[in-house]
Each structure stands twice: as structure tokens, then as C-alpha cells.
A = this chain, B = another copy of it.
Amino acid sequence: MGLVLNEEQRMLQRSAQEFFSARQPLKALRTLRDNQDATGFDRELWRAMAELGWAGILIPEAYGGAAFGYQGLGLILEEAGRSLAASPLISTALLGGPLILSAGSEAQKHAWLGAVAAGERVVALALDERSRHAPTSIATRAKSQGSGYVLKGSKVMVLDGHVADQLLVVARTSGADDAAQGLTIFVVDATARGITRTRLTLVDSRNAANVAFDNVEVAATAVLGMPDSGYAALAPVLDGARVGLAAEMLGSGLEAFERTLNYLKLRVQFGVPIGSFQALKHRAALMYCEIELTRSVVLEALTALDEQRGDVPQLASLAKAKACEMLELVSSEAIQLFGGIGMTDEEEIGFFIKRARVAQQTFGDAVFHRDRYATSMGF
């Protein structure tokens, strides 16, 4: 695994640390929440991130990207996770851009990727239709009509769906409702007639929308890549998103843990810092082990993605499952160890448990990924 950072990566990490701590600290999310901001992220900051090359970090230079790879993006997401920063990094840099890159024709790549890398377009993936991730359970149908298609169905938890310029819609053109075969991806203008977007106000104050397609007419050129075989293009991108999200979760877990550790050292009860109580020490040590293990699997999965290794699907499930387990533990323990003060909205630690549960459900929870891992191991 690519653990020891090279000079370029170290610079990237430093600039990410500086960017998020200076310009997107945790209180930025609180402000967006309290102001009920209509966009849900800061467009100004997103442009700044694009200028740093982050919006197009997975896009080759030929299409206007920075081509820094998953290991680079992982560093950025880890820092973003520390401050729970809201931005289209996941929807657009981790999913939208790479999916167009993976599935699209040359013409489509040239049409969209430059704008994505420039931070000018938010592109959202409209995939899930249920309250738990099930990427092949697709009932949204695309029927041929004339030279084009008509889309009908509804999608849930479309990240940044309410502000996206384009939606990448996974729809069924053939096959049974839960088959991987028969899925087609469409690039659809988010304001097309027949599309209704409802922004979701989630517990983590981050951005998602439910999107309904009521006989939305699209041209044949809207098909991204080949009809019926969209899942083959989607699968590796989805695995990349799982790993990227795991990197974000690693950052959140680290930050919550460090804040808790700090509190254990400062909070005095019975005349001593509560961190001197052995039961709490042991629980802290346990969390440390889980975080270390998570770091290892995230780094290995990021490396495998950059090397396009065959074990990416397995490692993606390993990374996401482990990140889910770790962050559930750490975010819950953080509240308990902060005690009453951790239950107040004024103290920031509560933001971590809120984000944790949404991130756990996004792109498959630990149960989903343990099952997938077992299948990949043949048992």
C-alpha cells in the first residue's frame, strides 16, 4: 500500500489541511445549517477547491483534470471528514466526473469533464431507490420512444441532487427489477420537464434530494456509454465512491477521537482528569486500534484503485465496512465520554454522530459490505 507519502502528496495533504481548517472549519457546516442555506454548500469555496484541482482530481489532464488519483483524493477527503465539510466532492469529484469518464463516449467526455473539473458543474448520481443501499434494485424504467427514451420512476438520497446541473440517472432498459444486467445510465439535465426534486433535510445537515421522474423525455444521445450495460461502468466508480467515503469517515473518526482524547485529559472529576480512569483508558485504546485498522484498509483500497487491481471490489467492501464499524463506535463513545456537554448542540462533537450515521448508510452499511465481502471470498 502506498503509505509513505511522496513530496507531491505531502504538499496536497498540507494544502488540504490548511484549506479546511482555515476556510471550512466545522462551524461552517453549523452556519449552513442554521441559515437553512438553500444550496447547502458554499459555491465560492467549491470554486476555490476546483482551482486547487480537486474537482477534477480523478480526471485525466487531457480532459482538463488534475489526474492526482484516488490516493490524492483520499488525503483531501480525510481532511474534509475532519471538519465535516459540505461540498460536491463526493457527488461530483468522486462520482459524477469519474462515471462520465468510465462510461462516456469521447464526445461526452469532452462535453462534460472540462466543466466538472473547473467546478462549473455539479453532476449527481441518481441511483438508489430504497432506504438501504441496493445498487441493482432498480425499478426506474427507461422506455424507448421514437429515437429517444422516456424515464419514469423515483430515486432517493441523490447526493447534491437539489443543486445538480446534470443528473446521471441509472434506469432499467431491460431485465428484472434486481438484475445487474439491463441498466442504462442517462445524462439528464436536472431541470428537464417531468423532473421533481425535493431537497432532503437530513440529520447531518449535508445535501441530498429525492428525485422523481414523471415521463421525462430524453434523446438517444443522453445514454452514457452503451445501453443495458451501465452497471459494468458504474460498479468500479461506485467502489471508488465507497472507498472515498471511507476516507472521509476515517477523517471524521480521527477528529472525533482526538477531540474526545483531549476532553479526557482536560475534564476533571473526583479531583483527577477522567482520562486517568482505567475503564475509559481501555475504551480509548480499543478505539485507537479500530482507527489504525481502518486507516490500513482505506490506504490499501485507495492504492488498489489507483493501480486498477482486481481486488478493488473486495477492498472497497473491506474499507467501507470497517469505516462504518469504527465510526459508529467512535462517534457513540465520543458522546458518552463528553457526558452531558456532548449532548448539547453548542458543543461540536454531536455533529460527528449525526454525520456518521448518514455516511454509514451511504453506498452500503457494514452488513451490506460484509455480505459482499463474503460472496467475493466464495463463502
- List residues of chain A with CB under 8 Å of any chain B CB: 277-279, 281-282
Contacts and interface: CB of A to CB of B under 8 A. Distances in A.
A151 to B, nearest CB: 36
6 contacts: A277-B278, A278-B278, A278-B279, A279-B279, A279-B281, A279-B282
Copies in the assembly, this chain: 2
A266 B282 CA distance: 23
A278 B270 CA distance: 14
A277 B276 CA distance: 12
Contacts of A279: 278-279, 281-282
A278 B281 CA distance: 10
A282 B280 CA distance: 10
Contacts of A278: 277-279
A38 B17 CA distance: 73
A285 to B, nearest CB: 10
A277 B278 CA distance: 7
A133 to B, nearest CB: 22
Contacts of A281: 279
A368 to B, nearest CB: 20
Name the residue in A277, A278, A281 with the highest tally of chain B Cβ atoms < 10 Å from its Cβ: A278
Contacts of A277: 278
A11 to B, nearest CB: 43
A270 to B, nearest CB: 12
A277 B281 CA distance: 11
A112 B282 CA distance: 58
A276 to B, nearest CB: 10
A84 B230 CA distance: 63
A259 to B, nearest CB: 23
A281 B278 CA distance: 10
A282 to B, nearest CB: 5
Contacts of A282: 279
A279 B285 CA distance: 12
Nearest to A280: B278
A277 B282 CA distance: 11
A278 B282 CA distance: 10
Nearest to A277: B278
A245 B379 CA distance: 33
A279 B276 CA distance: 11
A281 B279 CA distance: 8
A278 B283 CA distance: 12
A278 B276 CA distance: 10
